[in-house]
Structure 1
């Protein structure tokens, strides 16, 4: 048995879920029941501090395009799935590797070869981008005359017509909000799939870092049906211009979660801010221009004033701040907001989080410790996969 203290032992004594003793002390502790693991290896379980399990479960129910290495392979998989599911009104899946196409701009007509009579929506691996077919563009009314929404972009051809790639939630929502409402059973099955994937990897607790309206109710139901098999903390989504109207609803949802028995394993303690986009999409907010587009520094989703107002309001509700900030400009804005919160609100065990934090200006590094900010970064984004090599390095340099 490997302990979190970094050494090996051969026995654990456990009572009421707590470890009382190790090694010889455990063996002499007079246990009521002894479990012989027959030489198996035991280690502490993992906790995932930033994830999207419900979204992942939803994707598992669509075409499996993750890891495919060409447009032709993806199109073939979409066609296979569509042919096998003729009653599906929309085809939704993920997550494709955006780096297999220059600049990550995928064309709608490529997907039309697989499905032309139903909308197709595929999420990219960064989950800040979707690739859609012409039917999806048509249903959403997206044409060359459609303006980019605030905080989002629509990839376009030389004539201004939409290519079929949309970046950031503000643009993606133009299409995804039109998708049919999913059944409760589909959602419960998605949570069950995600739970089982977690348990297979040794993860016993996680945070769903993007909880929209209606998702808390699904999680509550999943605790009652047994579909949720790991402990889960919910992070309510705060959006510019909309967060004020969600305060009462989120407090109601938090109260309903708190009313569940402890063994349900569900909490709702955090609020999610999306500070910027993604480096792979060229939408992460950075202090200096992108090397491949010298007129762009990415997108800040929030104004400085509004993010401080919203963060201060939610912190007063004792909701932990969980701020998505990838570029160094977004990280600085998040630190500024947290600094304002700490200065104006009474002290409590707030543990604010800046998640991803892929680029940080060196002058901002000491501010994390000074403000008690947790840097929640993920190894997934640190190795030189095709996305980092083909999309990100040309944009920001080495």
Structure 2
């Protein structure tokens, strides 16, 4: 058989039976040979295209385990505070002021990317935004998406006063007299719904395509999108449907729609199930659901087994009633849906595992690709449970270093040094035999460049920095381990491992060529890696061809 394409070089297959190869051959979009350079010669004919990238590394397409694709709207239509690399209040004010001046007709300005740790007591308050304007509403979302910061005009438009009641599982920052101070966290952010950004179907289509362009440039072939509910949900769904109809969606996307603890989850799940009846595409699936079990450490809303270091007696609370969460997971799993849970605290992770164990027991299905994302704090006994229950840990290596304005200012302060120094495991999951994937949580992490994630996972230090003390170095991965996490494990998470995720005979010829030998370069330069060729089923889908 004569191949359409033959590639010779530094090939990492992600196939545990043979992790490395010297060459592979592609015919009709699939791998027909993977092995040594001599063996591929019989597949070369007059029409065969031979690619020889030298020591540049070749590996399978990358999986993104958790990215808020539709929230790319914040990068296009809002003040992208994070993009300006400022980390002080004056810098935030300057960038927001510039955006206000550049958009004089807007009555509400939205933005994203501020860090709570920049502000006194970790709380962004209205006075800083009032210095910019009190005539128009200014509404900013934190980098992690779990806090909002607004000015006095926004409070006025939302009719929020000292008589506004507190809300379950949320935090309203208040002045001494009880007046809201412009800081809102978790469920309390719903009070700002009247001034939150509202986008059209066309806006969301533009956002999805913007993300897709970035993803392809980074070698990403599949993505899990946790999709927020609320009034915008249907518009996001419609945007995906139209892109499928227009044949513009190129990255496989598994959408997990939110189910909130305060809504009728049975009714919501019925709506979600109907979506799959209207979409038939190899590029898109709505066969997943997403739940929050807790909040975040920096918001003092992560659910812990032991009290916060700065607040004796406070462990926060679970967002779900345990029995309701268990019943929901069993119901969705019985219907063949993937469950995807946000869990930060050790108590939240343990309950999530309890819910998945209940679902497995009730359905008799073990390999459902149930996932827990973020996994910041894990009890030692729970690593084995991840493996035994076939639960995927979708970690976020982009955060796995001593981040300024997070580590000392918030994590050490709230958790204490010991817990902070043992946060964000990765290696422990692999040692226990669990499946580990990687995720950017875009646009929490900007850019969503997996080679930055690769370097963080390998060094656990700031990018390009070999001097700073690493965070929890016993959790470092090797490049080889992380490439498997990025490729075959990513495909497994979205149920695509039988057709992609590794370079094996019979699988789709999805592969990426990068500009360096990932195994021999200084690990502190891994973030500089560039994709020079991204192929799907043997066809170039990004970058100039590799000679």
Query: CA RMSD for the aligned pairs?
Result: 2.1
2:79 is paired with a residue whose SS is coil
Aligned to 2:479: none
Contact 2:25 2:33 in 1 (8 A): yes
Corresponding pairs, count: 393
Alpha carbons of structure 1 residues 115 and 15: separation in structure 2 relative to 1, 3 Å: farther
- Does residue 1:240 correspond to 2:255, yes or no? no
Contact 1:280 1:388 in 2 (8 A): no
Aligned to 1:254: 276
Aligned to 2:370: 352
Question: How many Å apart are 1:222 and its aligned residue?
Answer: 2.3
1:295 is paired with a residue whose SS is coil
1:50 is paired with a residue whose SS is coil
Hey, what's the Cα distance between the residues in 2 that align with 1:201 and 1:4?
18
User: Aligned runs of 1:78-97 on 2, under 5 Å?
Assistant: 78-97=96-115
- Does residue 1:196 correspond to 2:213, yes or no? yes
Contact 2:318 2:348 in 1 (8 A): yes
2:342 is paired with a residue whose SS is strand
1:43 is paired with a residue whose SS is strand
Provide Cα deviations, 1:221-270, integer angstroms capped at 9, x if missing partner. 2233455332211011111132222122101112222x23x2xx112221
User: Aligned runs of 1:368-383 on 2, under 5 Å?
Assistant: 368-383=386-401
Provide Cα deviations, 1:335-379, integer angstroms capped at 9, x if missing partner. 111121112223263121111111112233322122121121111
Question: How many Å apart are 1:166 and its aligned residue?
Answer: 0.9
Contact 1:57 1:193 in 2 (8 A): no
Question: How many Å apart are 1:33 and its aligned residue?
Answer: 3.2
Question: How many Å apart are 1:100 and its aligned residue?
Answer: 1.1
Hey, what's the Cα distance between the residues in 2 that align with 1:122 and 1:225?
34
User: Aligned runs of 1:360-371 on 2, under 5 Å?
Assistant: 360-371=378-389
User: Aligned runs of 1:26-105 on 2, under 5 Å?
Assistant: 26-30=40-44, 32-36=47-51, 39=54, 41-66=57-82, 67-105=85-123
- Does residue 1:229 correspond to 2:250, yes or no? yes
Considering Cα pairs closer than 8 Å and 6+ residues apart, tell me whether 1 or 2 has the greater RCO: 2
**Which moves more between the two structures, 383-392 or 340-349?**
340-349
Hey, what's the Cα distance between the residues in 1 that align with 2:63 and 2:334?
27
User: Aligned runs of 1:135-284 on 2, under 5 Å?
Assistant: 135-168=153-186, 170-176=187-193, 178-179=195-196, 181-212=198-229, 213-214=233-234, 215-225=236-246, 227-242=248-263, 243-257=265-279, 259-260=280-281, 262=282, 265-284=283-302
Question: How many Å apart are 1:304 and its aligned residue?
Answer: 1.0
**Which of 328, 337, 343 lines up with 1:319 in the alignment?**
337
Hey, what's the Cα distance between the residues in 2 that align with 1:25 and 1:379?
38
1:120 is paired with a residue whose SS is strand
Contact 1:280 1:391 in 2 (8 A): yes
Hey, what's the Cα distance between the residues in 2 that align with 1:76 and 1:97?
15
Alpha carbons of structure 1 residues 383 and 241: separation in structure 2 relative to 1, 3 Å: same
Question: How many Å apart are 1:57 and its aligned residue?
Answer: 3.7
1:2 is paired with a residue whose SS is strand
Consecutive unaligned residues in structure 1, runs of 5 or more: none
Question: How many Å apart are 1:129 and its aligned residue?
Answer: 1.0
Consecutive unaligned residues in structure 2, runs of 5 or more: 1-9, 418-547
Aligned to 2:466: none
Aligned to 2:324: 306
**Which of 115, 119, 123 lines up with 2:137 in the alignment?**
119
Hey, what's the Cα distance between the residues in 2 that align with 1:33 and 1:211?
47
Contact 1:124 1:130 in 2 (8 A): yes
Alpha carbons of structure 1 residues 177 and 365: separation in structure 2 relative to 1, 3 Å: farther
